[in-house]
Amino acid sequence: MRRATMPHAAQQVTAAASAGDASLVAEVIKLRAENDQLARALSSRAVIDQARGMLMAVAPCSSERAWGLLVDVSQHCNVKLRDVAAALVATTREEELPEQMRRELRRALGRLHDRW
């Protein structure tokens, strides 16, 4: 059986549509990845803000200093800041702060009070 052939102009239109589809698919993939990243950032932001509030109440200190405390602990423990914040917030649910984080938080709080 003989295959039907497309006229040259129809082949060009089909090729252009395929290229457009590929471009559209690539853009959708990029936008989905960006959307996932933004969703993770929003959920991380909430827990980080909660941890900052906890530190502001306990220290007491400004929001900027609380941020600095979290950054210090994160850097000294080599743990992502959002994970440090989540561990700190988890202490409100009777979970213990990991020993290394507890030690670094004490040190950071000590440095904070030494600056005052």
- Across the chain, mean pLDDT equals 86
Which residue in 115, 100, 10 sits closest to 61, CA to CA?
Answer: 115
Measure the CA–CA gap between 109 and 102, rounded to whole angstroms: 10
Question: pTM for the full model?
Answer: 0.69
Where do the domains of the chain lie? 11-115
Cα 115 to Cα 65, 74, 108: the distances in Å are 11, 20, 11
Q: How many CB atoms lie within 10 A of CB 47?
A: 19
Q: What is the pLDDT averaged over residues 95-105?
A: 96
Identify whether the C-beta of residue 89 lies closer than 8 Å to the C-beta of residue 54.
Answer: yes
Per-residue pLDDT reduced to its tens digit, 15-72:
555 667 888 888 889 999 999 999 988 888 999 999 999 999 999 999 999 999 999 9
